[in-house]
Amino acid sequence: MKALKNFFEKTKPYVQKGAKYHWLHSTHDAFFTLAFVQKDTSKSGTHIHDYIDLKRTMGIVVFALVPALLMGMYNIGYQHFGALGQLETAAFFDLFLFGFLKVLPVILVSYIVGLGIEFIFAQFRGHEVNEGFLVSGILIPMVMPINTPLWMIGVATAFAVVFGKEVFGGTGMNIWNPALVARAFLFFAYPAQMSGDSVWISASGIEKMADGFTGATPMAQAVLGETNLNVWDAFVGLIPGSIGETSTLAILIGAAILIITGIGNWKIMLSTVLGGLFMGILLNIFAVNAYMEMPFWEHLIIGGFAFGAVFMATDPVSGAQTDKGKWIYGFLIGVLAILIRVVNPAYPEGMMLAILLMNTFAPLIDHYIIQGNIKRRLKRVQQSA
Amino acid sequence: MSDKEPLFSKKNLKLLSDPLDSSNPITVQVLGICSALAVTAQLKPSVVMSLSVMAVLAFANVIISLLRNTIPNRIRIIVQLVVIAALVILVDQVLKAFVYDVSKQLSVFVGLIITNCIIMGRLEAFALGNKPWPSFLDGIGNAAGYGAILVIVGFFRELFGSGTLWGFRIIPESWYIENGGFYANNGMMILPPMALITVGAIIWVQRSRNRKLIED
């Protein structure tokens, strides 16, 4: 630690204004504040600072994502060896290591491309490196199918960072969740690699799948009317799906971390779940096909619903800001996600589209909540006057 | 104006060059976006569309400019429409006769040149108040500015969306995943939203080059 600090102290003069490597100063700042808390205080105005700055906030979110990521790695191995029909002979560590080696390159590509673009933009515009990508960089791999080619991940990440974030002015200015922009881009640009039955299971070296084994996600099967879901497997996360979204259990652990530390907003999570349940019950009542008859609570444990509700919808930048707005915003995400999922067979997963749509409407919701507040208070003032 | 002004005086050349950059009809005035999104999925229709608009705009400008002192002010819009519609029908017939396949591809969008805001805009803003020759140059310049954007967008959309240019294969077949390679066409490039994003990127590049265009 000491050596690291000394290194930053020593290199500081080189990046000060007028020095030779001044153009690298934002890079220097970025790494320094990542390792240590900034000691600078403001020279004027307010002097009270929260110790938790953006980097610490992001750190906690990444920490909360770790259980889901580890479970996802294990599940990739589980699905792979399951498809081979060798599940009995493979040891726990084999499964995990296989998944780990599969996921690691995806994470590396996402971070290298994304942070690379962030650093270039920061140097170019002469401001600090935005921390926002720390979370996006881990979210992007977690919402991708494992078989997505690495170059596609790179292209999608670049698209998400440039057109999802930088064109709006960088971290804190984006309208949509960048990780979902990356996924939506891939979903529309390369549909063959993002949906179907063959993309969810790492099939390298598999000539023929074991008997009775299918690579279809529970949602793809539900569309076909096969709704005999193994609830325990779906809850723990041993089902085909995107890398980090399968395990509801691990996501709940992440949700607990976010809520206890106060980083994630429980109102959005709860209202999203309520919205999903509401729509699920409604579909149960008017059921005309097998998918609609599927028990309403099973929607919560399949697909990306839990992951989206906990990690995507709660994004403080693209979500609603007002308290009342958060309830409306979350509830509508839940309703739309299940509606798209069940009623529109062209899009097997509605969570991504539902969140992106509500991201777009979040400022509108906030606007009307605030206008309503202003009106109410004005009335109160006029009555008392 | 002195009657001895050279055909390509500085002022007239400006009429040609301005619409290419600082007063581009698409990226600066944001006119004619609709057709720019609709026909640019491939390079060939983009080029044909640009040429069609150029023919219509240049001659409509000249005709309206010749008639400008005789058109009653109250019915000028209908007169302009008649001129444009007649020219568009001519262009449509020519396309059908000589490049039938492209004419099929462009389908309704040739007819919709009538409603292209650029043409109406130039007639109203320029041809009604200027002599035929400058009007002609203005028409060519604006259509070229429009066409330049169409061709750039069409280039990127066809290259990344279909792997071809002008119908010729650029990205080798053997690169594709179906043939054991690694590459796949970007399906989003074929969709109109990506055309809008491409136009947005062009606007971004143009404004960071030409700082005068940035409004506060």
CB–CB of A163 and B197 under 8 A? yes
Strand partners, B176: B183
With respect to residue B214, please indicate whether it lies within any of the assigned structural domains.
no
* Cα atoms in the Cβ-side hemisphere of radius 13 Å centred on A310: 27
Domain containing residue B138: 23-209
CB–CB of B184 and A185 under 8 A? no
Segment B184-196 shows an average pLDDT of: 86
Q: Which of A187, A185, A166 has its CA nearest to residue B200?
A: A166
Sign of CA dihedral B2, B3, B4, B5: positive
Cβ neighbourhood burial of A316 (10 Å; 0-12, 13-18, 19+): middle
First to last CA, chain A: 63
Interface of A with B in 188-227 (CB under 8 A): 188-193
CB–CB of A189 and B204 under 8 A? no
For B84-133, give the DSSP string.
HHHHHHHHHHHHHHH-HHHHHHHTHHHHGGGG-HHHHHHHHHTGGGS-HH
- Confidence at residue A217, expressed as pLDDT on a 0 to 100 scale: 77
With respect to residue B8, please indicate whether it lies within any of the assigned structural domains.
no
With respect to residue B41, please indicate whether it lies within any of the assigned structural domains.
yes
**If pLDDT is split at 50, 70 and 90, which confidence band does B190 have?**
confident
Return d(Cα A102, Cα A73) in angstroms, integer: 8
Q: Which of B88, B93, B86 has its CA nearest to residue B111?
A: B88
The residue assigned the tokens 């723990």 is: A236
To test the contact with chain B by mutation, choose from A124, A155, A190 the residue with the greatest count of B C-beta atoms within 10 A, namely A190
A113-139 burial by CB neighbour count: b if 16+ within 10 A, else e?
bbbebbbebbeeeeeebbbbbbbbbbb
pLDDT per residue of chain A (385 residues) written in tens, 0 to 9? 677 777 777 777 777 766 666 666 667 777 776 666 666 666 777 666 666 677 778 888 999 999 999 999 998 888 888 887 777 777 888 888 988 998 999 999 999 999 898 888 887 777 777 677 888 899 999 998 888 889 999 999 999 999 888 888 777 788 899 999 999 999 888 887 777 666 777 665 555 555 556 667 777 777 776 667 778 888 888 888 888 888 899 999 999 999 998 888 899 999 999 999 999 999 888 878 777 778 888 888 888 899 999 999 998 888 899 999 999 999 999 999 999 888 887 777 789 999 999 999 999 999 999 999 999 999 999 998 7
Neighbours of B93 (CB within 10 A): 12
For the record, the structure tokens of B42 come out as 């491939």
The residue assigned the tokens 């001895």 is: B4
pLDDT digits 0-9 by tens, B44-78: 889 999 999 999 999 999 999 999 999 998 999 99
Domain count, chain B: 1
Neighbours of B9 (CB within 10 A): 11
Q: How far is CA B211 from the centre of its chain?
A: 24
With respect to residue B194, please indicate whether it lies within any of the assigned structural domains.
yes
- Confidence at residue B1, expressed as pLDDT on a 0 to 100 scale: 47
For the record, the structure tokens of B154 come out as 């069409």
Choose among B186, B191, B197: nearest Cβ to A190: B186
Strand partners, B168: B165
The β-bridge relationship of strands B168-169 and B164-165 is antiparallel
With respect to residue B169, please indicate whether it lies within any of the assigned structural domains.
yes
Nearest CA in chain A to B197: A163
With respect to residue B167, please indicate whether it lies within any of the assigned structural domains.
yes
Return d(Cα A309, Cα A255) in angstroms, integer: 9
Segment B181-189 shows an average pLDDT of: 83
Segment B87-96 shows an average pLDDT of: 92
- Confidence at residue A237, expressed as pLDDT on a 0 to 100 scale: 84
Return d(Cα A169, Cα A99) in angstroms, integer: 36
The residue ranking higher by pLDDT, B7 or B80, is B80
Q: Which of A167, A163, A178 has its CA nearest to residue A131?
A: A178
Give CA angle at A218 (A214, A224), nearest 5°: 85
Q: Which of A126, A137, A153 has its CA nearest to residue A62?
A: A137
- Confidence at residue A327, expressed as pLDDT on a 0 to 100 scale: 95
- Confidence at residue A252, expressed as pLDDT on a 0 to 100 scale: 93
Which pTM was predicted?
0.85
> What are the helix (H) ranges across chain B?
10-17, 33-38, 43-67, 76-98, 100-106, 108-111, 117-125, 132-162, 187-190, 192-209
Residues of B in contact with A149 (CB under 8 A): 177, 182, 184
Q: To the nearest whole number, what is the mean pLDDT of chain B?
A: 87
A185 interfacial to chain B (CB closer than 8 Å): yes
With respect to residue B12, please indicate whether it lies within any of the assigned structural domains.
no
- Confidence at residue A172, expressed as pLDDT on a 0 to 100 scale: 79
Q: Are A44 and A167 contacting, i.e. CB atoms less than 8 angstroms apart?
A: no
Residues near B128 by beta carbon (within 8 Å), at least 6 away in sequence: B64, B65, B68, B71, B76
